[in-house]
Each structure stands twice: as structure tokens, then as C-alpha cells.
């Protein structure tokens, strides 16, 4: 049961699409005005767990931390950093009381969850205009499902987007992409798609291609399609200010850019130099931006990632003096650049304006919705441009954006802590309606190791978005660059053998408003021992993943809340053994994976394939000791989704 309490005149975020009755009084929390801000407080009980705030640092249980919803382009993924790229203002209190609460405001919100042992949840909203949704339910799982249903049906990618993707900041020409395809084919490692990072563009300009390095993009897309590989270009938020740039000219004609205080267009320095930001809050501007994707779809492209949409700003007119000089020096000496100081960024965010619902909004006050509305613009545009599904994922997001596309979790590092962080983000993202999600496998910053990449792949094998991505100054990170590619083949092929299950479970979750990845405690709420387990996750209805995420380890201990079937995959066969409730030690060498199947559940697996185009829905083996499995299978492309596609396997 969801109700909403309205404070002031909230901005329409469209985070929730269900009709929600209005309540007079806020339950659970106390409200106080704190100057121009609003403070919400709740006294925690000793054993309460607090879920939510999906794209933040720290644990799945947010207790003990301070988090700030203020979308930020930051590669500092350490616990002292309160803000990453997204704002998902959901809390679920699980303990003495059970409820969810969603602070629906695009302005800055600070959350202190038993911070410095205060014993309180303190939520400070910078704006007094907001909707607060309160969600009552008998369990945290029920509360999360209730919220997902109220958000509305989550984004459904094509089947090929569940295949493995390779990416790197630095693939510069057609040959770089051919090399990737060849590398994977020679090693026999499955692959479905390759990302094109900003290097494909003409001088980093959106909706353009460097003609020297990609003389005929449409023909190249076709060439790749013959290998069953899709190209997935990046699109940044800022549009280069340059007469002759057709997107810039169209944006001016359509009056689609954000304006500054003086009524001119706001200028922000990003990768292509000076840009204007499309006013994604304005429906007309969104419609225009969506149409621009025709540039790619006409060339046969069906997948995209949206970046820099917090929005990131390297430099602006409001930053005079040395910073400006730095910018030009940086432009000359490679792209190395100093991050804008936070103070300057705030000044920039206070210097431009949006038009929505016949009103003018200062960017700073609606900051956290910007990236989400870029995703919406792209998604609604692509829906018109393409007759079938497309891949779309974004760096910045807000609750509700999960209806339009997926998310990746930004510039992590090649370290074991961030592999664990990936595991922690997954259930939390699912609670907030982001089912198609994942991290940069192998790590974005720094040099990965063979061992880290293999262990990371064995985690990503279970996340809907499985993409190996790295930065421009790091070592080669494609799987075939390492010795002993057999082990990489083994782990990536595990993903492809699990595809019938993963796809089917994703579709069922998406069509019923369920979560795809859940914490153990959501399924076994009565078992005290699972309350703190964050390195075992439930994937779909039947799998408990139990990856090894410690350097040098080949064993780990696993807690089983019930009798299950242990499954070990060695690259060729699945070996099933009954495992008893309690703590067991499992062993998985590099190139192997161990997971469990819940009691009474089945998991369909297919034969080994190297591309989603080879998926075989007929010859499935059912793992697990249960009875039947309800398989969702369709062509993976049309939008005629329906639970009528379910069929029972025995
Ligand atoms: O300023 O496009 O998070 O995935 O490779 C960096 C280059 C811009 C940040 C993204 C990253 C991408 C990179 N981008």
C-alpha cells in the first residue's frame, strides 16, 4: 500500500506512474522546517537494517553512513565520497517496523543513517517542495515490489543486450573494432556487442562521426552485423556550439537549450569544447533530442549509452582566470585535466535554467533529474525511430528512469573492493526499479589483473548488463589479451549457457514488477543469519550466486538458509550435488564457478554458444531438484511482451 504526502508545490518528476492516494499525515517520520530546508527524522531501533540509496558507497545496509543525493561525475568511489552519479532517494526500514519511504525531489537531499551512532535517520531536503511516498508492506521484499509496480514497467532490452559486451575508452578506428571481433573469435570467447566511446566522433561532437577513421559508418555497422556484432555508440549530454553542426543548429531552431541568467544560452565546456545543454526538462526539447538519434538508427545502430549527464562540466564562462588557462593547457597537452572544484560546479549549476510546465526552474534546484530525463528523451525517441527494442543505458539516473533504460555504475577502479561494490549495488538498484544494470567489469581506472578480471566476469555473468569496459590510459583489458584464454572462455560461456534462465527471469520480473536480483534476506526474512550477508545474492527465482571476491582465494564459505543444490561449472559441464542447510566451504579455481539452486526450483541451461543469435530454446537442460520451470521465451526483439509467452518445462 502506497500513499503520498505532498509538501509545498513539488516538481513533477514522473518517478511514480501509478495513481497513489494522498495522505494527510506522514507516518513514522517527524517533520521540521530547518530554515529553508526540511528535516525528516526517525528513531532507529538497535537491529533495524536500512536498505535503499542504491547508487551510493558503503554496504547494502546503509546504516552508519552519510549520503548526499547530488548527481556527480566522480571516479572517487571511496566510502568518504557521499555522492555518485545518481539519486535514488528510497529507504526501506527493516526491523522493529517495516516500511519504505521515497523522498521525491530533484533537489539535493542529505541522508544520515545512524551516522556517528546518532540512532536516527535524518533526511535533510534542500527544498520544501516534494512528494513523500510511504510504502507499507509485510516485508522488505513486498515493499520493494510495491514500489517497482508503482514506478511502472521497467525497461526491456533486446536479447542481444544480455550477451557479453566489450568496451574501451580509446577504440579509434574501424580496425580497432575488427581486432576486438577477431580477438574474441580466435579465442572462442562469446561476444555480442562492442561500445564505441567518444573517439568515434568528429572532435567529440554528438551525432557526428570522424570521416577519416570511419569513412562509411553504415557500411561498417553492416560489416559488424555479418559477424553478429552490434556497435553501441556513446552519446554525451552537451551539444557542441558550432555553426555548421546540424544538431546545434536544430537545437537553436527548436529553442531546445538551457538558458543563462541573461537570457542567452548557457555554455559549458565538456569534451568537444563549448557546449549547450539540451533542456531535458522541457518536453519539446526532449522530443527534438530523441529525433536526433535518427543519425545513428539510419545507419543500422540499435544500442546506445548516455554519458556525462549529471551533467559533468569541465569548465564554463563563470570560471575565469587560472582555471580557464588550465583548460586550454589541458586541451593542448592531451586530455589531462583538473576536475572543477565543487564550488565552481555549484556556481555553474546555479547559472542556468530550464522550462517545464510553463515555469522556469534554476538547474541547481532540479539537478538530480537531468540525466534521467536525458534517458527518457533518448528512449522515447528510439521507440519512435525503431520498430523493435533497443539497448540503452545511462550513467546518471533518478528513480523512474528505470522505465526508459538501464544504468551502469560509472568509473570504478580495477580493485577487489569495487568488485564487492558491484555486488552491493545490484540488489539496491533492483529495489529502485533499475533491473538492467551492471558495473564496468574488470574496472575502469587502473590496470586490472587476470585474476581480478576472471573473478569479476564470474560476477557479471549474473548481472543483466555484462560489459568489460576500461579507461584510456589502462592496460589492454579484452579477455583475449591475457594468457590462458580457456578460462575466460569458460566463464563467459557460463553466461551464455545461463541465458535462457537469465532472460526468462528478467522478463518475468519486468512484466510483473518484481526484482531480478535480491538480497538473501528478502527471501529468508526469518533467518537471522542472512541479515548481514552481502556477498551472496538471489538471481531470479532460483539461483543463489556465491562468487569468490577475495584476491588469491579459491575457496570461500557460503551460508545456506535451506537445503539447496550446489552447481559447479568447469567450462564444460554442470555438476550438481545436494548441499545441506548451514555453512559450507566451496571451491572454485579461476575459470570455474559455483552457485546454488534454491530448494524446489529449476534452472534451464542451454548448450554452449558464442553469440545470442545461436540461442536454442528447445534443447534445454533443467538443473535443480524441483518440479517444473516456467520459461519465458520470445524472439528477444519485438515489443509484443506478454506472460502468454510462458511455457512449462518439466
Ligand atoms: O570524462 O567517454 O564514465 O565510461 O569511457 C570521461 C569517456 C568521460 C566517462 C564514462 C566512461 C567513458 C568516458 N567518460
Give the model confidence (pLDDT) of 359-402 as tens digits. Answer: 999 999 999 999 999 999 999 999 999 999 999 999 999 999 99
Give mean pLDDT, residues 215-225: 98
Under 8 Å between Cβ of 495 and 467:
no
Give mean pLDDT, residues 302-322: 84
How many residues are there in the chain? 650
Question: Which of 360, 365, 349, 402 is closest to 149 using CA atoms?
Answer: 402
Instruction: Label residue 342 by pLDDT band (50, 70, 90).
Output: confident
pLDDT tens for 98-108 read 999 999 999 99
Q: From CA 598, how far away is CA 566, in angstroms rounded?
A: 9
Q: From CA 92, how far away is CA 101, in angstroms rounded?
A: 6
Angle at 55 between CA 53 and CA 61, to 5 degrees: 45
- Give pLDDT, residue 507: 98
Instruction: Label residue 331 by pLDDT band (50, 70, 90).
Output: low
Question: Which of 497, 462, 464, 461 is closest to 479 using CA atoms?
Answer: 461
- The phi and psi torsions of 162 (rounded to 5 degrees) equal -90, -5
234 - beta bridge partners?
A: 305
- Give pLDDT, residue 349: 97
Give mean pLDDT, residues 32-40: 91
Q: Is the pLDDT of residue 327 over 70?
A: no
Task: Give the three cell numbers for residue 104.
Answer: 521525491
Q: Which residue is closest in CA terms to ligand 1's atom 7?
A: 169
Give mean pLDDT, residues 316-345: 56
- Give pLDDT, residue 108: 98
- Listed in sequence order, the residues at least 6 apart from 427 whose beta carbon sits closer than 8 Å to its beta carbon are 60, 515, 517, 518, 519, 522, 537
- Catalytic, 483? Answer no
Task: Specify the pairing of strand 65-69 against strand 86-87.
Answer: unpaired
- Give pLDDT, residue 330: 53
User: What is the CA(169)–ligand 1 centre distance, in A?
Assistant: 7
Give mean pLDDT, residues 405-431: 98
Q: Is the pLDDT of residue 427 over 60?
A: yes
User: What is the CA(234)–ligand 1 centre distance, in A?
Assistant: 9
Under 8 Å between Cβ of 521 and 94:
yes
Mutation test of ligand 1: which of 197, 409, 474 has the most ligand atoms closer than 8 Å to its C-beta?
Answer: 197
- Give pLDDT, residue 329: 47
Nearest atom in ligand 1 to 197's CA: 2
User: What is the CA(439)–ligand 1 centre distance, in A?
Assistant: 13
* E runs forming strands in 357-475: 359-362, 391-394, 397-398, 406-408, 437-438, 440-441, 466-468
- Catalytic option among 411, 505, 535, 592: 411
Q: How many CB atoms neighbour CB 552 within 10 A?
A: 7
User: What is the CA(171)–ligand 1 centre distance, in A?
Assistant: 13
Burial environment of residue 200 by CB neighbours within 10 A (0 to 12, 13 to 18, 19 or more): buried
- Catalytic option among 307, 365, 487, 505: 307
- Give pLDDT, residue 36: 85
Burial environment of residue 479 by CB neighbours within 10 A (0 to 12, 13 to 18, 19 or more): buried
- Catalytic, 199? Answer no
In this prediction the pTM is: 0.96
Task: Give the three cell numbers for residue 641.
Answer: 511482451
DSSP letter for 116, please.
Answer: G
pLDDT tens for 459-493 read 999 999 999 999 999 999 999 999 999 999 999 99
Residue 23 host element (H or E):
none
- Give pLDDT, residue 401: 98
Nearest atom in ligand 1 to 234's CA: 2
- Give pLDDT, residue 315: 87
User: What is the CA(411)–ligand 1 centre distance, in A?
Assistant: 7
Under 8 Å between Cβ of 143 and 135:
yes
Q: From CA 465, how far away is CA 183, in angstroms rounded?
A: 21
pLDDT tens for 486-531 read 999 999 999 999 999 999 999 999 999 999 999 999 999 999 999 9
Q: Which residue is closest in CA terms to ligand 1's atom 5?
A: 169
Pocket of ligand 1 (CB under 6 A): 169, 197-198, 234, 307, 395, 410-411, 469
Q: Which of the pair, 63 or 326, is modelled with greater confidence?
A: 63
Mutation test of ligand 1: which of 235, 308, 439 has the most ligand atoms closer than 8 Å to its C-beta?
Answer: 308
- Give pLDDT, residue 201: 98
pLDDT tens for 66-125 read 999 999 999 999 999 999 999 999 999 999 999 999 999 999 999 999 999 999 999 999
Q: From CA 82, how far away is CA 70, in angstroms rounded?
A: 9
- Catalytic, 635? Answer no
- Give pLDDT, residue 319: 59
Task: Specify the pairing of strand 543-545 against strand 537-539.
Answer: antiparallel
User: What is the CA(83)–ligand 1 centre distance, in A?
Assistant: 17
Nearest atom in ligand 1 to 167's CA: 5
Angle at 16 between CA 10 and CA 19, to 5 degrees: 95
Nearest atom in ligand 1 to 236's CA: 2
Angle at 519 between CA 582 and CA 644, to 5 degrees: 110
Mean pLDDT score of the chain:
95
Task: Give the three cell numbers for residue 39.
Answer: 528535516
Nearest atom in ligand 1 to 469's CA: 4
- Give pLDDT, residue 34: 85
Nearest atom in ligand 1 to 472's CA: 5
- Catalytic option among 48, 112, 192, 310: 310
Q: Which residue is closest in CA terms to ligand 1's atom 12?
A: 169
Residue 184's alpha-carbon distances to 190, 472, 609, in angstroms, are: 7, 20, 13
User: What is the CA(307)–ligand 1 centre distance, in A?
Assistant: 7
Q: Which of the pair, 626 or 54, is modelled with greater confidence?
A: 54
Residue 644's alpha-carbon distances to 187, 495, 508, 514, 638, in angstroms, are: 39, 26, 11, 17, 14
Q: Which residue is closest in CA terms to ligand 1's atom 6?
A: 308
Amino acid at each position: 500500500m502506497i500513499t503520498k504526502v505532498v509538501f509545498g508545490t513539488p516538481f513533477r518528476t514522473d518517478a511514480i506512474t501509478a495513481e497513489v492516494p494522498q495522505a494527510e499525515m506522514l507516518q513514522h517520520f517527524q517533520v521540521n522546517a530547518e530554515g529553508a530546508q526540511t528535516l525528516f527524522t526517525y528513531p532507529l531501533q538497535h537491529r533495524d537494517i536500512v536498505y535503499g540509496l542504491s547508487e551510493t558507497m558503503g554496504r547494502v545496509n546503509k546504516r552508519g553512513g552519510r549520503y548526499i543525493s547530488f548527481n556527480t561525475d566522480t571516479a572517487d568511489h571511496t566510502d568518504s565520497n557521499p555522492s555518485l552519479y545518481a539519486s535514488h532517494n528510497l529507504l526501506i526500514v527493516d526491523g522493529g517496523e517495516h516500511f519504505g519511504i521515497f523522498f521525491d525531489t530533484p533537489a539535493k537531499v542529505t541522508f544520515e543513517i545512524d551516522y556517528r551512532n546518532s540512532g536516527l535517520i535524518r533526511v535533510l531536503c534542500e527544498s520544501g517542495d516534494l512528494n513523500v511516498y510511504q510504502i507499507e508492506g509485510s516485508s522488505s521484499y513486498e515493499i520493494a515490489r510495491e514500489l517497482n509496480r508503482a514506478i511502472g514497467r521497467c525497461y526491456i532490452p533486446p536479447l542481444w543486450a544480455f550477451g557479453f559486451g566489450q568496451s574501451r575508452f580509446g577504440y579509434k578506428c574501424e580496425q580497432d573494432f575488427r581486432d576486438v571481433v577477431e580477438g574474441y573469435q580466435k579465442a572462442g570467447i562469446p561476444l555480442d556487442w562492442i561500445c564505441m566511446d567518444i573517439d568515434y566522433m568528429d572532435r567529440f561532437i554528438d551525432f557526428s562521426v570522424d570521416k577519416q577513421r570511419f569513412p562509411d559508418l553504415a557500411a561498417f555497422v553492416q560489416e559488424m552485423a555479418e559477424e553478429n556484432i552490434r556497435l553501441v555508440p556513446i552519446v554525451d549530454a552537451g551539444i557542441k556550439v558550432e555553426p555548421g553542426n546540424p544538431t546545434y543548429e536544430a537545437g537553436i531552431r527548436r529553442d531546445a537549450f538551457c538558458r543563462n541568467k541573461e537570457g542567452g544560452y548557457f555554455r559549458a565546456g565538456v569534451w568537444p569544447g563549448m557546449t549547450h545543454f539540451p533542456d531535458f526538462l522541457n518536453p519539446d526539447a526532449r522530443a527534438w533530442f530523441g529525433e536526433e538519434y535518427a543519425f545513428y538508427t539510419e545507419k543500422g545502430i540499435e544500442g546506445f549509452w548516455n554519458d556525462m549527464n549529471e551533467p559533468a562540466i569541465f569548465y564554463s564562462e563563470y570560471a575565469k582566470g587560472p582555471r580557464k588557462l588550465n583548460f586550454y593547457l589541458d586541451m593542448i597537452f592531451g586530455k589531462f585535466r583538473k576536475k572543477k572544484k565543487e564550488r565552481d560546479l555549484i556556481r555553474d549549476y546555479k547559472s542556468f535554467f530550464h522550462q517545464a510546465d510553463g515555469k522556469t526552474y534554476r538547474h541547481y534546484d532540479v539537478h538530480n533529474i537531468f540525466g534521467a530525463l536525458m534517458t527518457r528523451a533518448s528512449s522515447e525517441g528510439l521507440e519512435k525511430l525503431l520498430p523493435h527494442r533497443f539497448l540503452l543505458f545511462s550513467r546518471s539516473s533518478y528513480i523512474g528512469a528505470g522505465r526508459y533504460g538501464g544504468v551502469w555504475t560509472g568509473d570504478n577502479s580495477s580493485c577487489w573492493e569495487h568488485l564487492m561494490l558491484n555486488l552491493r549495488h545490484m540488489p539496491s538498484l533492483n529495489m529502485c526499479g533499475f533491473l538492467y544494470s551492471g558495473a564496468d567489469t574488470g574496472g575502469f581506472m587502473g590496470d586490472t589483473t587476470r585474476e581480478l578480471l576472471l573473478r569479476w566476469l564470474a560476477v557479471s555473468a549474473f548481472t543483466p548488463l555484462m560489459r568489460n569496459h576500461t579507461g584510456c590510459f589502462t592496460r589492454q583489458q579484452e579477455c583475449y589479451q591475457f594468457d590462458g584464454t580457456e578460462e575466460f572462455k569458460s566463464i563467459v560461456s557460463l553466461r551464455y549457457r545461463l541465458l535462457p534462465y537469465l532472460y526468462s527471469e528478467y522478463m518475468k520480473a519486468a512484466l510483473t514488477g518484481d526484482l531480478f536480483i535480491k538480497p538473501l534476506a528478502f527471501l529468508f526474512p526469518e533467518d537471522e543469519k542472512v541479515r548481514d550477508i552481502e556477498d551472496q545474492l538471489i538471481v531470479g527465482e532460483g539461483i543463489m550466486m556465491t562468487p569468490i571476491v577475495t584476491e588469491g582465494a579459491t575457496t570461500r564459505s557460503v551460508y545456506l538458509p535451506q537445503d539447496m543444490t550446489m552447481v559447479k561449472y568447469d567450462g564444460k559441464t554442470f555438476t550438481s550435488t545436494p548441499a545441506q542447510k548451514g555453512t559450507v566451504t566451496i571451491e572454485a579455481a579461476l575459470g570455474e564457478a559455483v552457485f546454488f539452486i534454491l530448494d524446489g526450483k529449476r534452472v534451464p541451461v542451454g548448450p554452449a554458444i558464442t553469440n545470442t543469435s545461436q540461442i536454442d530454446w528447445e534443447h534445454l537442460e533443467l538443473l535443480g531438484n524441483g518440479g517444473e520451470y516456467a520459461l519465458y521465451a520470445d524472439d528477444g526483439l519485438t515489443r509484443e511482451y506478454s506472460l502468454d509467452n510462458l511455457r512449462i518445462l518439466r
